[in-house]
Each structure stands twice: as C-alpha cells, then as structure tokens.
Structure 1
Amino acid sequence: MQQTSQSVRPRPDRSAALDPASAGLATTLTLAAMSLGYGVVQLDVTIVNTALNAIGAALGGGVAELQWVVSAYTIAFAAFILTAGALGDRIGAKRIFMAGFALFTAASAACALAPDAVTLIAARCVQGLAAAILVPNSLALLRHAYADDKARGRAVGIWAAGASLALTAGPFVGGALITLVGWRAIFLVNLPIGIAGLWLAWRYAGETTRHQSHELDLPGQFAAIAALGTLAGALIEGGALGWSHPLVIAGFVLAAGFAALFVWREARAPQPMLPLSLFGERLFALSSLVGLLVNVAFYGLIFVLSLYFQQVNGLSAFQTGLAFVPMLGVVLPANLIAPRLAERVGAPATIALGAAITAAGCLATLGIDRDTSYPAICLQLIAMSGGLGLLVPPLTSTLLGSVEPQRAGIAAGVLNATRQTGSVLGVALFGSLVGRSAAFITGLHAALVISAGVLLAAGALIWIGASSQVRQ
C-alpha cells in the first residue's frame, strides 16, 4: 500500500504577528544566525591549516597524519550532508540546525582536550558531522526567510560573506592564539560563536514545513561514507606507501565498488538520499560539478600552501596566519560584488569569470620555489581567492533556484556534499604530491597545474552548458 504523503504544520513563526519593522529585524537576525553557522564551519578550515605544524609537533606524525586531521572533518562533512538536508526537510530545518550547532560546539571542546592524534581525528569527525548539519539547513532557513529571488540572492551573498570573514580572520586569530596560548585554543573560540548562534536561531528563525514522508536512506548513507573514506585513504596513503602498494590499489578498488553500490542504491531506493532525478536539471548538475572541481583546487592548495609556509619557509604559526590574510581577505568584498555582477551579466558568466581568475592565479604562481619571497606571490594568491569569492554566491543561488522550494534542503546538501568531496580529494591528492620533502616543490607545481586545469574546465562547463540550455 502506498504511503500517503503528509505534511506537519510547524509552529507559527514568531515574526508572523510582528509589525513590518520587527519582522524585518527578525529576518535580518535570522540571516545573522545562519551566517554564524556557516562561518564557524569555515573558520575551522583555515585555523586548523595554520596549526598543522603545532599539532604535528605536539601529537607527532608526518604529512599523512596531518592530512587525516584535515580530511576527517571534510569526509564526515561530505558524507553526512545529504542526510542532514533530508533530516531538515523531515523534522524541520530550525530544529536540525540548532542540534548541529550544539554538537559542533561540544565537538570543538573535545578537539581542544584531545590527548593524542587519534582522539583529535575522532573529534574532528564529529565536528564534520555537525558541519554537515549546519550548512544545508542554514540555506534552507534562508530560503524560508527570503521568498523573493533577488532578495534571497543578496542574502546568500551576505551568508557567504560571513563565512569569508571567518576564513579571513581564521589565520590571523589562529596564529595569534597558537603563539600566545597554544594550538588547543583554536578550537575553544568556537564555543562563544556556538552559543550566540544557538540563541539567535532559537529566538528569531522561523521553522520550515515538515515533510514526514521524507525517509532516511541509511544504506545509501553507509555506502557514501565507505566510498569517500576509502578513496581519501587510498589517496593519502598513496603518497606515503607508493601508488603501486597493494593496500593503496585495494583502496581504490574498494572505493570504486562502494561508489557503484551507492549509485545502484540511489537509483532503486524509494526515497533516495541523493535523488538522481535532480541531475536531469542541467543547471543543477553543472553547479554541483563545478562546486566539486573548484574545491579540489582551492582547499587542496590551502593545505599545501600551509605546509609550504611553515615547513619550507620556516614561518611561525602567527606569520603563516599573516601570510594568508591578504589572500583570504579579498573573498569578502568579492562575495558582496558577486550578486550584483550576476544580476548584470548572468550567474553562469560570473561563475566562469571567477573560475578563470582563480586559474590565472594558479598559473602565475608556477615560478614559486624554496627561496621565493612572499611579496613575489602575494598578488597571485589574492587572485586565487578573489575568483573563488566571485563564483560561490551565484553558484549557490543558481543551484537553489533550479529546484522547487520543498527540495531546498536536499539541493543545498548536494551542492555542499560535492564541494566537500572536492575538498577531501584536493587535500588527499595534493598532500600526497608534496608528502616527500625532497619533492615538495615539484609536487606543489603539479598541484598548481592540476588546479588551473580543473578550474578552467569548471568555467567552460558552466558557460557552455548554460548557453546551450538558453538556446533550447
């Protein structure tokens, strides 16, 4: 017997009976809460990269162990984000968002107290799970708060800008904390952010409609975790053990098998974690693929450049943080410019332009060597981040606009799952390229070339694909 789709009405929005000014304030503070949720997720990316040397010195291990500290977070983030989006659709995005914020805050405290690398990696997995809950549900709540497409596009730009501010402040604040207090302090800064975000969300965010017919696809979830985990493990250990090592080859074979099992399951599940029908919409499919390719390049390079500054150039954590400030500082103004540029020339053109700028920055950095001065590469690093800041808001808004509102949670989950999968692959692949110190610069050059290639491919895909859809 076919199950009847039911929709449970949420509690009335707190702002429903408010005057327009108060309702506008509630919407603005909802945006602030969502920005804090995304911002704290992004904050941990740059802070942890700045602390790599300090963590390695305190807990032991080489590049492979440091890759796991970074990748444990992004693997859990990528693997669970689709289920988290579906949970928001089923239970209510506000409830799930608040649970994620509470879990992220608790996991941050566990990271700060970790006595060894294994415990830290485990706590980072929990952080990644919480991040997976925060991001798609923050976007779903924004979609709920901003019904108008133009207003939502600008809200998404501000949401992304909040994360950009966290990315920019992360290296500087992290470097200062590591120098003055120690690496454990970088996780403690999440506690006041978590408390503030929880209160704002509880007080001002309106709950979304619950769709109890949206069931969880646990077999698909397990297949996704296994596929991404074994692929990342094979890439990471390939740099340490060698690409022809039997364990590495076995890892790639298992990853391919689990990936095939995941697709098979999603094609047959009554309510799949990843509805393959979504990819029948060209802009949705292109946006998801571009998100993956862009993050392979950007976050892989962030990891490698952190090692370059600290292990090759011998910079302290604070100096490394300062080195990243100009690079990441340009993301915020680029995020704010992007929605207005997209309104004039179109989102696909803005995305393609951002990808081209970032690729140009990668190619212009190919002259980097062990004795290269920071001023000689500063402008190139700024170009890399500026292009990223330009493309993320229209990419996000394009994907959200390509699906019906009731699927906003799962759509946001798909975009962020593909982006975080790209981050996992970038850190794992580029880290393995530079894992042997004697070949660090050769590996860095290879990472820059690969990054430029995938970025140019991403820009071409969204430009050509969107143009073809318009002609049809």
Structure 2
Amino acid sequence: MGASQGSESSARSTVAVAVVAFFVVTLDAVVVNVALPSVRQDLGGGVRGLQWVVDGYTLVFAALLLSAGALSDRMGACRAIGVGTALFVVTSAGCGLAPTLSLLVVFRLLQGAAAAAMMPASLALVRQAHEDPVRRARAVAVWAMGGAVASSSGPVVGGALSLVDWRLVFLVNVPVGVVCLVLLRRAERSPRRTTPFDPAGQVTAVLAMGGLTYGAIESGAVGLLAPEVLGAFTVASVASICFVVSQARGRHPMVPPSLVAARGVPIAMLIGFAFMVGFYGVPFLYSLYFQELRGLSSLGAGLAFVPMMAVGLVLTPLSARIVERTGPRLPITGGLALMTAGLVALSTLPHDVPIGVPSVLMVLVGLGGPLVMPPTIAVLLSAVPGDLAGTASGVLNTSRQVGGALAIAVFGSLVAGPGGLEDGLRWSLLLGSAVLLVATVASLRVASSRGSERRRWVVSRASADDRPPW
C-alpha cells in the first residue's frame, strides 16, 4: 500500500513538472508581445531590436527542437528537463535584469535553447508517469491544456505585469522554475537510451534558419540589397542545400527523406507554417498598434486579445468530436479560410476604428487553433509509420516555429519601413493572408476519411511526442 502510494505521489509530481514546464515555455512565446513598447521605452532601440526580442527565443527553439528529442533520450527525460529548467531560470533572470537591449536579446537566445531542451522532455515525463493508456491519455490532456491556458492567458498576464514593470514578464519565471525543480526531486528517474545524433543536420539547420531570419529582420533597416542582407540570404541558401544533402546521405538524419516523401507530410508542414504566420504575426502587429497608435496601456492591449485567445481555449476540447464527425479536411480548410478572411478584414480597417472591431475580427484568427491544428496532427500521424510519429511531430513543430519566426521578421521589417506602422500593418496583414490562402488551397488535398484519423489522433495524444500548437 505504501509503495503504491509512493508510486502515485511520484507520478503526480512527474506530471506536475511536465505541465508547469510546458506552461512556462508556451507562455514565454506569447507573453512578451504586449511588453514590447515598454521594453523599447526603457532600453531604447527600434522595431528591429524588438523583433529580436521575440524571434531570438522562437528561432533557437525551432532550430534545436528536432535534436532536443534525441538529447532527452540520451540524458533521460528527468535530467534533460532539470538541466533545461535550470538554464531557463538563469536566462529568465538574465532577461529580467538585462541593462541593455543587446543583452536582453542574448538571454532570449539562450532562453530559447533552454525551452527546446524542456519541451520534448516534458511530454516524455508524462509518458513515463503512467503505463496505463487511459491514465496516460488523461495526463497528456492535462499537459496539453497547460499549453492552451498559457497561450490564452499570455497577453493578459504580460499586460498586467508590464503595468508594474516589463521585467516581471521574465522574472516571474524564476520562482515557477524553482518550484518545478523541487517537484522534480520527487519524480521517478528516467531511463536513458542510446539515440543517434545528426551534427551536420543540426549545424546546417541553425545556419539556414538563422541566416533567413537575420536577413529578413535586417532588410527592414538597411534594405534588401545591403551587403549584410545579401550575405545572410546566401548563407541561408547554401546551408539549406547542405541540410537537404546531409539528410539524403546521412546515416542518422534528423528528417528522414522517407518522412518528407510520405503523402500528407508536406501539406501538414505548409499548414503548420502558414498557421503560425497568422497566429504569431497578428499579436505582434496589434500589440504595437494598440499601444503605439491607439494609446492603450499594456493591460488594455492584453485584454483586447482575450476574445482571440479565449475562443481557442473554449473550443479545443471539442476538436476531437469535430474531426470524428467531419473528417480532417473540412475543419482544416474552414479554419484556414476563416484566418485568411480575418487578416483581409483587419487590413481594410481605418486606423481610428473602435478598438472592439479589430478585437472581434481577431476571433477569426483565434478559431484557427482548435479547427486547424488538431486535425492537421491527425493527418500527419496517419501518413507516417508509428516509429516515425515522434520525428514527424518534431518536423511539424519546427515548421510552425519557423513560420512564426519569419512572420515576426518580415512583418517587423514592413512596420519599420518608410510607410510606418499603419502602412506596414496593412501590408503585413495582406502578406499573411496570401500565405494562409496558399495553405487553404493546399489543404483541399487532405484526405477526408474520418475513422482512421480520429483513432490515430487519440493514440497520438496518449503516446506520440507532439506539442499542441496553439
């Protein structure tokens, strides 16, 4: 009896660590947007610096995410999440205490590396805590809800903390991380596995993503034909070619060619990329719009995002039923179409429209979370063998993070251009709607069968190494 109680206590602690880790990693991806004007007022710098505050985290997170799963297997999930959380606490303190914008960006880059170590390990801990598939599925649902709550509450939390001091947006992670480390001491130790590592793929992926993002951000300040911008795009192009070659010829590629060749995988990657262009790009743009053009406080701006974020939190539990009844194609295509329409509608608004109008129209973007991504995961997992489910989920998540990072880079460059925030906002929304429209058309090729996708989606929630994407 005592051993059983001890095992149950250890399982609860393990799941608690995983949920808290996922919560803070997701929160830090969205909480910063509403604090950006306060950061600029305190530390100086232009839109370019603010872009790096957001993209520094997202870029490194995306670049290291595929290898982080292998790291978790090699070290054991407990040790990996412990190291990642400790680094996350230190870098969060560094962000909160940074005296200059440059140091803040450096710490955000390191924070993204910590988040990449924490993410796959957090779900591995959930899988470790419960052998029973039903209890494991319930634990995964709690874990997923932690991410949904974080993304939904992020703008309001960031706005409220920024009213006191923007530094609290980062410093609040410190006590939360310490609690996570304390709970981790009660968790059962994780097994280690010998997992191949792909150094060539990892290095070329970092160079490709970094060069592309750097070039996009810097082009807004110095122009597309500036030597440093052309150089960055050249590095990105060469690194991308080298990455493709390394994956085709390498012994242990991060992205096996057979995975990319599977029907449904490229479409799922495109959908994930386009989804994040809208879902990350809109909060970045409208955080600046609400505060700099309309004069709202950080809390007021955060509250303006509540309808967009809350709709995902409310409808997410219904995603499985929607897929079961309609198959994946209808919600995916419909959700992408709603997001496209939302961005187009926002682009037509005059700058002095009542605040409630863009707030309500952003709900169309928020609907993409529950309508698009869960069935996209179902499509992805139905297209690949079970032993590639974790890798496929990592590829999807990486494509999503790259979409978010590039949206911030390109949109920020347009906002920083000669037309200023108002013109840059409009062109950014139109560009984002064009990307979403391409994904909407591509989604028409998604298979419309119902039962198999539903079953694979349920299994994935219980066992696959995927991350809920909203």
Could you tell me the TM-score, scaled by structure 1's length? 0.86
Q: Aligned AA for 2:356?
A: P
Aligned counterparts of 1:398 and 1:343: Cα–Cα separation in 2: 13
Counterpart of 1:266 in structure 2 is 247
- Residue pairs, 1:65-464, within 5 angstroms: 65-143=49-127, 158-180=142-164, 182-204=165-187, 207=190, 210-212=192-194, 214-396=195-377, 398-400=379-381, 403=384, 407-436=388-417, 438-464=419-445
Count of aligned residue pairs for this structure pair: 452
Partner of 2:30: 46
Is contact 1:164-1:329 (8 Å) kept? no
What amino acid is the match of 1:425?
L
Tell me by how many angstroms 1:223 deviates.
1.2
CA contact (8 A) 2:149 2:313 kept: yes
- Contact kept, 8 Å, 2:328 with 2:448, in 1: the verdict is no
CA distance 1:411–1:156, change in 2 (3 Å):
farther
* Alignment RMSD (CA, Å): 3.0
After TM superposition, give the deviation of residue 156 of structure 1 in Å.
5.0
State the Cα deviation string for residues 375-408 of structure 1 (Å, max 9, x = none).
Answer: 1222211221122233333334554565555555
Match of 2:458? none
Question: Does the alignment pair 1:58 with 2:47?
Answer: no
Instruction: Say which SS state the counterpart of residue 264 (structure 2) adopts.
Output: helix
Superposed CA offset, 1:138-171 (max 9, x none): 3344455677888877765543332221123222
Worse overlay, 269-278 or 402-411: 402-411
* Closer/same/farther in 2, CA of residues 373 and 154 from structure 1, 3 Å limit: farther
Where does residue 6 of structure 1 map in the other structure? none
TM-aligned CA deviation for residue 32 of structure 1: 4.2
Kept in 2, the 8 Å contact 1:84–1:136? The answer is yes
Distance 1:302 1:67, change over 3 A: same
Partner Cα distance (2:144, 2:343) in 1: 23
Q: Larger deviation: 377-386 or 400-409?
A: 400-409
How big is the shift at 1:217?
1.7
Question: What is the TM-score normalised by the length of structure 2?
Answer: 0.86
Q: Which runs of 5+ in 2 are unaligned?
A: 453-470
2:429 & 2:289 partners in 1: Cα distance? Answer: 13
Kindly provide the amino acid, as one letter, of the partner of residue 343 in structure 1.
E
Cα distance in 1 for residues equivalent to 2:87 and 2:380: 27
Asked if 2 retains the 8 angstrom alpha-carbon contact of 1:56 and 1:66, the reply is: yes
Letter in 2 for 1:464: R
2-side partners of 1:165 and 1:205: how far apart? 26
- Counterpart amino acid of residue 75 in structure 1: L
Structure 2: distance between partners of 1:469 and 1:148? 26
Q: How many angstroms apart in 2 are the aligned matches of 1:200 and 1:392?
A: 31
Q: Which moved more, 1:231-240 or 1:385-394?
A: 385-394
Q: CA 1:380–1:156 in structure 2 vs 1: closer, same or farther (change >3 Å)? A: farther
Residue 8 (structure 1) aligns with? none
Q: 1:390 to 1:65 in 2, by over 3 A?
A: same
Q: CA deviation at 1:50?
A: 1.0
Contact preservation (8 Å) 2:312, 2:369: yes
Q: 1:154 to 1:372 in 2, by over 3 A?
A: farther
Give the unaligned 5+ runs of structure 1.
1-14
Find the residue that maps to 1:466 and give its secondary structure: coil
The answer on whether the counterparts of 2:262 and 2:383 sit within 8 Å (CA) in structure 1 is: yes
1:360–1:452 CA contact under 8 A, matched in 2: yes
User: Which deviations, in whole Å up to 9, do the C-alpha atoms of 1:2-38 show, x marking residues without a partner?
Assistant: xxxxxxxxxxxxx9x738x975x86666544333222
Letter aligned with residue 433 of structure 2? A
Which whole-Å CA distance do the structure 2 matches of 1:310 and 1:37 have between them?
30
Corresponding residue SS for 1:278:
helix
